[in-house]
Amino acid sequence: MSQELIHAITDMREEDAVKIATELLDKGTDPLLILEDCRVAMETIGKRFETGESFIPELILAGEMLTQISAVVKPHMKQQAAQKNSAKIVIGTVQGDIHDIAKDIVAFMLDVNGFDVTDLGVDVPPAKFVEAVKQSGAKIVGLSGFLTLAYDPMKFTVAALKEAGLNVKVMIGGGQIDDQIRVYTGADAYGKDAMTAVSLAKQWSSAN
């Protein structure tokens, strides 16, 4: 874990953060570890927002900064040759939330484990999830959300999928997601981390 990178992000030092991430990559640091540092930093910023120490402009800046770091990191993610799984998964950050680092890690891990992933990006309304499931035929949906403001959009998205008559399994994840939130949203499961998400996807796809 790079405390230097984490502090650069939480201090909103955009140029420094991107530079440090680039230097870490040049030294051979695992790209996923860098993204994990970003997630830790974002969790700190999220907690500041919840307690009123940070505001929407800071969240937007942090989101833009992490998008830049993600763009630097992704080319270094050398995907292992893996047999493609026929299982299709739709994933996205729910409406009202613009954080994508945790989602990107999960989407990447699902992809390298052979799943056919449709990544809808951030701030995704329920109707877009419904449309993507219909078009792709996916049986698994992943909803990402970092802040508490994501809970209701998650709930609305789960409800929209059910109302559309789509037989899908829904997992949720994010910085402050737990089983209590899973129950509130009506999701089938929650993932504490990317590997949990992969495990759930494998379990569900093998049952179909």
Residues sharing a CB contact under 8 Å with residue 84, sequence separation 6 or more, in sequence order: 114, 116
Confidence band of 84 (pLDDT split at 50, 70, 90) = low
**Domain coordinates in residue numbering, the chain:** 3-76, 88-207
- The rounded percent of the chain whose pLDDT value lies above 70 is 94
Overall average pLDDT of the 123-151 stretch = 95
Confidence band of 33 (pLDDT split at 50, 70, 90) = confident
- The rounded percent of the chain whose pLDDT value lies above 90 is 53
List residues bridging with 117 in a β-sheet: 89
Q: What CATH number should be reported for the domain whose range is 88-207?
A: 3.40.50.280
Q: Give the CA angle between residues 154, 84, 160 to the nearest 5°.
A: 20
The C-alpha torsion from 145 through 151 and 157 to 159, rounded to 10°, is 150
Confidence band of 171 (pLDDT split at 50, 70, 90) = very high
Predicted pLDDT of residue 82: 46
Confidence band of 131 (pLDDT split at 50, 70, 90) = very high
Is the per-residue pLDDT at 86 higher than 90? no
Nearest to 105, CA basis, from 187, 157, 34: 34
| Strongest mean pLDDT among 15-19, 37-41, 66-70 | 15-19
Predicted pLDDT of residue 119: 95
Is the per-residue pLDDT at 138 higher than 50? yes
Predicted pLDDT of residue 202: 92
Is the per-residue pLDDT at 78 higher than 60? no
Overall average pLDDT of the 144-166 stretch = 95
Distance of alpha carbon 77 from alpha carbon 32, whole angstroms = 8
Selected from 1.10.1240.10, 1.10.3720.10, 3.40.50.970, 1.10.240.10, the CATH number assigned to the domain covering 3-76 reads 1.10.1240.10
Is the per-residue pLDDT at 197 higher than 80? yes
